Amino acid sequence: MNAQLKTFSQDGDYKVADITLADWGRKELDIAEHEMPGLMSIRKKHAATKPLKGVRVTGSLHMTIQTAVLIETLKDIGADVRWASCNIFSTQDHAAAAIAATGTPVFAWKGETLEEYWDCTLDALTFTLADGTQTGPELVVDDGGDVTLLIHKGYELEQGDASWVNSASGSHEEQIIKNLLKRVAAERPGFWTRVVKDWKGVSEETTTGVHRLYQIAEQGKLLVPAINVNDSVTKSKFDNLYGCRESLADGLKRALDVMLAGKVAVVCGYGDVGKGSAASLRAYGARVIVTEIDPICALQAAMEGYEVTTIEDTLGRADIYVTTTGNKDIITLQHMQAMKDQAIVCNIGHFDNEIQVDALYASGAVKTNIKPQVDKFTFAGGNSIFLLAEGRLVNLGCATGHPSFVMSNSFSNQTLAQIDLWANKDVYEAKVYILPKQLDEEVARLHLEKIGVKLTKLTQAQADYLGVAVEGPYKPEHYRY
Amino acid sequence: MNAQLKTFSQDGDYKVADITLADWGRKELDIAEHEMPGLMSIRKKHAATKPLKGVRVTGSLHMTIQTAVLIETLKDIGADVRWASCNIFSTQDHAAAAIAATGTPVFAWKGETLEEYWDCTLDALTFTLADGTQTGPELVVDDGGDVTLLIHKGYELEQGDASWVNSASGSHEEQIIKNLLKRVAAERPGFWTRVVKDWKGVSEETTTGVHRLYQIAEQGKLLVPAINVNDSVTKSKFDNLYGCRESLADGLKRALDVMLAGKVAVVCGYGDVGKGSAASLRAYGARVIVTEIDPICALQAAMEGYEVTTIEDTLGRADIYVTTTGNKDIITLQHMQAMKDQAIVCNIGHFDNEIQVDALYASGAVKTNIKPQVDKFTFAGGNSIFLLAEGRLVNLGCATGHPSFVMSNSFSNQTLAQIDLWANKDVYEAKVYILPKQLDEEVARLHLEKIGVKLTKLTQAQADYLGVAVEGPYKPEHYRY
Amino acid sequence: MNAQLKTFSQDGDYKVADITLADWGRKELDIAEHEMPGLMSIRKKHAATKPLKGVRVTGSLHMTIQTAVLIETLKDIGADVRWASCNIFSTQDHAAAAIAATGTPVFAWKGETLEEYWDCTLDALTFTLADGTQTGPELVVDDGGDVTLLIHKGYELEQGDASWVNSASGSHEEQIIKNLLKRVAAERPGFWTRVVKDWKGVSEETTTGVHRLYQIAEQGKLLVPAINVNDSVTKSKFDNLYGCRESLADGLKRALDVMLAGKVAVVCGYGDVGKGSAASLRAYGARVIVTEIDPICALQAAMEGYEVTTIEDTLGRADIYVTTTGNKDIITLQHMQAMKDQAIVCNIGHFDNEIQVDALYASGAVKTNIKPQVDKFTFAGGNSIFLLAEGRLVNLGCATGHPSFVMSNSFSNQTLAQIDLWANKDVYEAKVYILPKQLDEEVARLHLEKIGVKLTKLTQAQADYLGVAVEGPYKPEHYRY
Amino acid sequence: MNAQLKTFSQDGDYKVADITLADWGRKELDIAEHEMPGLMSIRKKHAATKPLKGVRVTGSLHMTIQTAVLIETLKDIGADVRWASCNIFSTQDHAAAAIAATGTPVFAWKGETLEEYWDCTLDALTFTLADGTQTGPELVVDDGGDVTLLIHKGYELEQGDASWVNSASGSHEEQIIKNLLKRVAAERPGFWTRVVKDWKGVSEETTTGVHRLYQIAEQGKLLVPAINVNDSVTKSKFDNLYGCRESLADGLKRALDVMLAGKVAVVCGYGDVGKGSAASLRAYGARVIVTEIDPICALQAAMEGYEVTTIEDTLGRADIYVTTTGNKDIITLQHMQAMKDQAIVCNIGHFDNEIQVDALYASGAVKTNIKPQVDKFTFAGGNSIFLLAEGRLVNLGCATGHPSFVMSNSFSNQTLAQIDLWANKDVYEAKVYILPKQLDEEVARLHLEKIGVKLTKLTQAQADYLGVAVEGPYKPEHYRY
């Protein structure tokens, strides 16, 4: 980032790119509130009772305008909030400024280094009590699980298991985390144990983070109750699908102004994110090819008229590549070297390891920066590719992420999850929970009026015939929507 | 039906419309086999072991060409099969003839009366042992649950509970069932008890039938293990969705040759069947309006750009109505009376009570039959509507149902369920089961090659990263596809 | 056809398949009238003045329900009408019966031989005057130009030029026409000269027929004024495009019940018919490949996301082939032999020479008839293909053609063209005319109310700004819509 | 604009926002060249002959990256070029800088005042000969007709007709033009006469400018031959349609990040621009309503499933309004006052008078600037609307206009038109011409390879059958594509 522009608060309690952007951010926050009826309705409902009153909440989630509305919602219902972004490119600086200007500690700017990123995460989870003690949050809002990871790894170290921290293997980023933990160990003895003592739960936003949670839980290592927000229908079937349908093309356009019609585009993965991505590209007149490992998703793609084949089979004829898998090494260096000249490569999955960016850098390809988050890599043979957002989320790195309305659904689930975790802090075990269907339906309901939907009401006789209550929930748990 | 054309076998072991249609049916069966790779693959795999060897199987499922391929698959793996249709209009007479001609007992023709329908169901579930004893099937393939209902109600009666059979309330059809049970009680004492003694399980095809099963199970009355085939992903997310996307318009076109472009079409319900129906109508250039009771499905419809409102709000401006809900009284007599002149009314849900057909008949509206399964009802005020297939499944009543390829998915699940029920007959309890995800993925896999899909294979490193096996299953149970 | 069922009238003035179908036909006519507001409005407007009073009109146009409404419109405004179909498979027998039953001479049934077809055409253009003289029509409604061809060729012969009639070359069908002309020459000396003397004009329906007309006109041989109805916007941009979007899939479904989702479909030609065909197949989930010779249309197809390649490039991977070109030899015998097993081959262009059907028959491939208009041809190597409607228009041969609403646009243009030709019979020269834009807009206007369209009205100031009249026409002649 | 950033060249021969942006502009120019195969191919073909050698060309066309490639193409084939933008918001400053840096005079920056805009136009058309004489271009590339207007009005004044210049009526912008002409009259006597003397022709880009040309020609006042580039198929059916399908949403997203799914969007006008706009919005899941005055276009919209109604009928229920008509006063102040709170209003037609922006300013509504080209207007009643790009082209004002590939088609036509005008300068009359179909097909052909299209080649026999040449052109003049 442009060093001159970074703004630190006097008391060290925010780090944003430029605090003078706060006014602009506030104007956009006002607009966003209008598009986020779920959050506004939750604010209203809990205005008096303030169910999170005084609860320390750390958020690690893309510091966008929409997230700013989430933050202010959490504050409105009583929480004491600290925030970091969960991606080095995803912060909207005017959003961060607007939040910082209200006195909420926020540590995020667009274009952090990885070291800065993890420092910000640590800042966001460090609360200082009145007596000066440094401790952590009581609740965590996580997206991708970085806060959860940090606490678990820090705690593990303080519990005496230094094997991971001292291991040499792992990515460049892993090494940065290890260094940070060593530094904390030196500077703040007992910190993670204090953190874990007060920690009551985490709600996790995204497929990849949820996947991590289930893995930790299966290993019996999960320290707190967790709510899988991603698998609320009103999250994964909306944010992941309709959000990407809106924001993928936005990222591509702001990055390269490329004509999509007539292009051959490869979407790797046909989960919800892949479905939204493929639908968007096709609607622009691109010819979409899907790659899949799962035969069910592959058959779905075929039923929608997409060619389904391997990535190798597309090299030389495809113009655009988008990874959406949540898996690693989807696009390898060898793939990139064999692509059509000036192919565009990007990722819309949570982590940047879907594309072998490290290998690309190490390959000797010549990098030309076109503009922020848009780089051209030219290989020895003369061919080049464009890599967007250095392989990080293209919609957040090159555009502004998902629009407010769909995020209102996700963040309503987040807020309800936070309330639920706190309310049940003495009941829940250290497992992964999903919000009950009734809340899921409630979140949907809060968004209907804004867009003019009129719902039909069951008669009692119809409800009896179906064996459901008139007011829902309406579907069995296994229903897939 | 045209009485002259109905054909009974000499030994009473089939009733079809016209046995001379068998050759034509066989030609279409040959074509269908080519489109049903899942079933053909299962045949091949189990050709030697014949896992259903000698097992008595009753099927109650639309007697179409596709079902004929299912029947011959069950026979190929050893079963002793008897079959009826599960809808008075859904039989394809040449399919029934082709099956009857091979010596398989089948009792089905297009245009049965309700009395004939239930007699056929009884015929299909009556096996005569070598010693002349009349008994029932060991396994049931059900679609809508009519065989399951009949056995449960018959058994209840023989157990001494005559309350239902003697009750006066219920629809016209219910009365027919009661009469049948009384007749059986008189003619075949102890029959249902014998049936239940040998009965080992049922696999159920459709949303509505599954719903019935869960209700019976909740009441603790379920007599055998049941497999919910509907909720295999490769069934509900394919047959219900893509099947209807193909067959709804087919039914409308064969019925009335109506131009869909420019019309306003109302789809009641936005589950999988509604989603497929709405997509099809929109693709033809109709303006689709959706009605929903479930806020989540309603929000999905809105995200796809459909107007979502109540049926009352559409009266006078909509041209076509399609019910897809699995609920009753969706289109009432009052609705029909207030519709635009010459509106088209039809149902693609399993049962015909979605539209108040009885009330329509009782209303004094003048009925003009245009051709089989197409009737015009003219109200006193002069306005008229068209009712298709008397409110029964329009795709099966007015066209030929879903095409082979998608049914191959459903019926592969059915076949696997039958094999599974038999293999586990000593293990399973009287509960409702769903097939394991691995089988679901297997069914999908069997259909990929036919349409040229090339699947990507996980590396071991990728599988480890995801924490799954290279060969699957790939997704958690709660995954929604 | 089934000989027993063909019905001749006692006075020889109709030949239909079965006159007892008239009642059913009438019911469907009543329904169609409701969907054809343009024709009904023209009837009403000219009911009193009867601008075609006593004018002898011959029609050669698919004898469907929609055409029946056209015929009755022409009669309503005064014409003396005789009719034949313009394709051996396109007649709906109940439509023909309904027309015959009203006393209008009609000569058409589904499944004519080519000899019968041309005899019917001759019957339709033979009017017998009160004095017993045989003469011809004063106006012709043509579709494909067969009546126009017959009169021109007959007249040429009577003018002393027997070169064509006596030439040996030409297709099987051409030989049949030559034989007919020789027979007429023998039986009705001077007939064609009498016909031409009274003939005042022809309005032509379709791309191919119009193409023929321009060719004759360029050669200076056109005998009468002609109106190119095809190139009214409300014809070619509606009937050809939206009509095929509705009827292609209808033909495929009624023929083979094939699942379209997941299939690879090749559409040869991307004119209006190709555009409608491709859109329909894609909407069903087929993956559509387009072939084109015209770089502009090819680029349009690419912009819509279709793969555009040669037919040779698709052999072995495509499941369905549809020709829409108006050209010949698009699908050759060699192509068919190299197709994937059980590929489906059909044509939706006007003539059947787009597919090399003659060569297919001559190839020694074994033909198996599945049902009327559906044949399987098996090649020596074991591979087979399905040929629909023997290569004739699949939508009319295997289904019922375009729906009423879109045909109301086309036939309104036809009717206005007939009125215009008669009104200007002393003014127009023997050239090809197009209807003025004002009539084109009028035809559109007549169809708006039925589907609930509310038009915006220009203010005078806006009209002045644009330099148009408030009531139109609104666009320059070269505007493409 | 930000005054500090504006850069003037020392010799006064360019005015751009910031010449240091040239490097970035050049990088994007390099990328664009890859996407503009038509222009690159024309460069190559005429590299040796330089058909515009030494010809003075003035361009008035959005100064974007794509236009920069056009400018360099014109220079490559010999032209002496000066350039201005044709809209105050449409310049991409890095594109202008890149062009200025090569020594080509360019006068354009994003955010000009109207006075600056017209001064730039004058700068662009003022060539100074070696002897110091100020004169004008020999050829003009116009977009919207502003250069053509200025020359015609200036010439009219010098010919002694001062009526228009002295008239008081007209918009604010008209007054600015009049002032400019008075100033030129004072400072440069005889200038316009000199300009007209050398002026040989103009090629015009857009619907609105073409409309103006036909009006001037009809009045007999057109001074030079003009080529209507807009009505080349490869322009209007590509740029207008597919260009807007790509760039409208881009403008909306960059302006307000608004979720389009679920919104009700009104598209005023269903010409090519409206068709592209509606398709784009629908693809995002918006529910699109169309307004139209032309019954044919209205019927097209209905056939595509759009609701077609009046704008008045949408007030209170629509969220987004887009004007695409080329007409004025489409959205009035009264409309805006009655809209749903926070409705978004924008225009994608050439001129800004489609929305009553002047009346909005005069209404007393409170304007809040959110960010450049995004303003919120709050009415007395509390309701507000967002106005984008002050009613000017939203895709160019809020995003970067159409992508390169589609502009390569338009600009290939422009270049061919310039070559044609010069080659025929002694032949053509002062009329409006359209490029011959062969060139139109050639432009398409130049763009096929880039996107992998394989064209089918007619056989001689097929060409003969159609009566066309193997190499085209393939369609009659009236063909609509």
Asked whether residue C96 is domain-assigned, the answer is yes
Domain with C198 in it: what CATH number?
3.40.50.1480
Instruction: Report pLDDT for A6.
Output: 75
Beta strand pairing call for C139-142 and C134-135: unpaired
Asked whether residue B448 is domain-assigned, the answer is no
Contact state of D480 with C456 under an 8 Å Cβ cutoff: no
Contact state of C434 with D215 under an 8 Å Cβ cutoff: no
A208 carries a ligand binding annotation = yes
User: Is D220 in the same domain as D285?
Assistant: no
N-term to C-term CA, chain B: 43
Asked whether residue A451 is domain-assigned, the answer is no
Alpha-carbon gap: C197 to the closest alpha carbon of chain D (Å)? 30
What's the token pair of residue D12? 């006064």
Strand order in the sheet with B307-308: B307-308, B287-291, B264-268, B320-323, B343-347, B384-388, B374-378, B366-371
Q: How far is CA B390 from CA B116, C195, D311, in A?
A: 17, 53, 41
What would the pLDDT profile of D443-461 be if each residue is shown by its tens digit?
999 999 999 999 999 999 9
What would the pLDDT profile of D202-255 be if each residue is shown by its tens digit?
999 999 999 999 999 999 999 999 999 999 999 999 999 999 999 999 999 999
Chain D interface includes A367 (CB < 8 A): no
Percent helix, percent strand, percent coil in chain B, to nearest 5 = 45, 15, 40
Chains touching B by CB (3 or more pairs below 8 Å): A, C, D
User: Is B279 in the same domain as B171?
Assistant: no
Mean residue pLDDT across chain D: 96
Q: Pick the catalytic residue: C66, C408, C410, C412?
A: C410
Contact state of D303 with C238 under an 8 Å Cβ cutoff: yes
Separation CA C176–CA D460 (nearest Å):
27
User: Is B146 in the same domain as B200?
Assistant: yes
Q: Which value does ipTM take for this structure?
A: 0.96
Q: pLDDT band at residue A170, thresholds of 50, 70 and 90?
A: confident
Q: Pick the catalytic residue: C86, C244, C297, C346?
A: C244
Please name the helix (run of DSSP H) or strand (run of DSSP E) that holds residue C268, with its range, or none. Answer: strand C264-268
Alpha-carbon gap: D279 to the closest alpha carbon of chain B (Å)? 12
Cβ atoms of C226 and C432 closer than 8 Å: yes
Contact state of D285 with B304 under an 8 Å Cβ cutoff: yes
Active site residue A300: no
Coil, strand, or helix at residue D174?
Answer: helix
Tell me which residues of chain C, numbers 32 to 91, contact chain B at a CB-CB cutoff of 8 Å: 34-35, 65
C280 bridge partner residues: none
User: Is B197 in the same domain as B269?
Assistant: no
Chain A interface includes B186 (CB < 8 A): no
B-chain CB neighbours of C67 within 8 Å are none
Domain with A260 in it: what CATH number?
3.40.50.720
Cβ atoms of A132 and A167 closer than 8 Å: no
Handedness of CA D159, D165, D171, D172 (dihedral sign): positive
User: Is A429 in the same domain as A356?
Assistant: no
Q: pLDDT band at residue A2, thresholds of 50, 70 and 90?
A: very low
Instruction: Report pLDDT for B1.
Output: 44
Of C28, C258, C342, the CB nearest to B370: C28
Question: Shortest CA distance to A249 belongs to which of C389, B141, B432, D281?
Answer: D281
Chain C interface includes A309 (CB < 8 A): no
Give mean pLDDT, residues A60-80: 98
Alpha-carbon gap: D215 to the closest alpha carbon of chain C (Å)? 8
Asked whether residue A370 is domain-assigned, the answer is yes
User: Is C265 in the same domain as C303?
Assistant: yes
One-letter amino acid of A203: S
Asked whether residue A365 is domain-assigned, the answer is yes
One-letter amino acid of A332: T
Please name the helix (run of DSSP H) or strand (run of DSSP E) that holds residue C211, with its range, or none. Answer: helix C207-218
Active site residue D205: yes
Instruction: Report pLDDT for C206.
Output: 93
Active site residue B205: yes
Give mean pLDDT, residues A286-290: 98
Separation CA D57–CA D139 (nearest Å):
5
Active site residue D235: yes
Instruction: Report pLDDT for D6.
Output: 75
Coil, strand, or helix at residue B106?
Answer: strand
Asked whether residue B158 is domain-assigned, the answer is yes
C-alpha count within 13 angstroms, C-beta hemisphere, residue C422: 22
User: Is A394 in the same domain as A407?
Assistant: no
Of C444, C465, C478, the CB nearest to D327: C465
For tokens 């209303």, the residue is: B363
Chain B interface includes D304 (CB < 8 A): yes
Please name the helix (run of DSSP H) or strand (run of DSSP E) that holds residue B384, with its range, or none. Answer: strand B384-388
Active site residue A244: yes
Residue ending a domain, choose from B347, B372, B398: B398
User: How many structural domains comprise chain B?
Assistant: 2
- Residue in B with minimal Cα distance to C252: B250
Q: Pick the catalytic residue: A143, A146, A156, A158?
A: A143
Asked whether residue B466 is domain-assigned, the answer is no
User: Is residue A138 exposed (0-12), middle (13-18) or buried (19+ Cβ within 10 Å)?
Assistant: buried
Beta strand pairing call for D287-291 and D307-308: parallel
Instruction: Report pLDDT for C315.
Output: 98
A-chain CB neighbours of B298 within 8 Å are 444, 448, 453, 455
Contact state of C447 with D234 under an 8 Å Cβ cutoff: no
Tell me which residues of chain B, numbers 123 to 142, contact chain A at a CB-CB cutoff of 8 Å: none
User: Is B304 in the same domain as B362?
Assistant: yes
The tens-digit pLDDT sequence of chain C (481 residues) is 444 567 888 787 999 999 999 999 999 999 999 999 999 999 999 989 999 999 999 999 999 999 999 999 999 999 999 999 999 999 999 999 999 999 999 999 999 999 999 999 999 999 999 999 999 999 999 999 999 999 999 999 999 999 999 998 788 899 999 999 999 999 999 999 999 999 999 999 999 999 999 999 999 999 999 999 999 999 999 999 999 999 999 999 999 999 999 999 999 999 999 999 999 999 999 999 999 999 999 999 999 999 999 999 999 999 999 999 999 999 999 999 999 999 999 999 999 999 999 999 999 999 999 999 999 999 999 999 999 999 999 999 999 999 999 999 999 999 999 999 999 999 999 999 999 999 999 999 999 999 999 999 999 999 999 999 999 999 999 999 9
D-chain CB neighbours of B305 within 8 Å are 261-262, 282, 285-288
Mean residue pLDDT across chain A: 96
User: Is C391 in the same domain as C409?
Assistant: no
Of A285, A286, A305, the CB nearest to C286: A305
Residue ending a domain, choose from A367, A383, A398: A398
State how far Cα A79 lies from the chain centre. Answer: 21
User: Is D216 in the same domain as D347?
Assistant: no
Contact state of B444 with A299 under an 8 Å Cβ cutoff: yes
Mutate to test the interface with A, among C281, C300, C303, C313 (most CBs of A within 10 A): C303
Q: What is the 3-state secondary structure (H, E, C) of chain A?
A: CCHHHCEECCCCCCEECCHHHHHHHHHHHHHHHHHCHHHHHHHHHHCCCCCCCCCEEEEECCCCHHHHHHHHHHHHCCCEEEEECCCCCCCCHHHHHHHHHCCCCEECCCCCCHHHHHHHHHHHHCEECCCCCEECCCEEEECCCHHHHHHHHHHHHHCCCCHHHHCCCCCHHHHHHHHHHHHHHHHCCCHHHHHHHHCCEEEECCHHHHHHHHHHHHCCCCCCCEEECCCCHHHHHHHHHHHHHHHHHHHHHHHHCCCCCCCEEEEECCCHHHHHHHHHHHHCCCEEEEECCCHHHHHHHHHCCCEECCCHHHCCCCCEEEECCCCCCCECHHHHHCCCCCEEEEECCCCHHHECHHHHHHCCCEEEEEECCEEEEECCCCCEEEEEHHHCEHHHHCCCCCCHHHHHHHHHHHHHHHHHHHHCCCCCCCCEECCCHHHHHHHHHHCCHHHCCCCCCCCHHHHHHHCCCCCCCCCCCCCCC
Asked whether residue A469 is domain-assigned, the answer is no
Contact state of B303 with D285 under an 8 Å Cβ cutoff: yes
Chain A interface includes B475 (CB < 8 A): yes
Q: Pick the catalytic residue: D80, D116, D142, D143?
A: D143
C-chain CB neighbours of B376 within 8 Å are 27, 31
Q: At what angle do helices B404-423 and B37-46 cross, to 10 degrees?
A: 30
User: Is D229 in the same domain as D275?
Assistant: no
User: Is A406 in the same domain as A392?
Assistant: no
Q: pLDDT band at residue A86, thresholds of 50, 70 and 90?
A: very high
Instruction: Report pLDDT for B7.
Output: 84
- Tell me which residues of chain D have a pLDDT lower than 70: 1-5
Instruction: Report pLDDT for B12.
Output: 78
- For residue D83, what are the domain limits? 15-234+402-438
Q: pLDDT band at residue B5, thresholds of 50, 70 and 90?
A: low
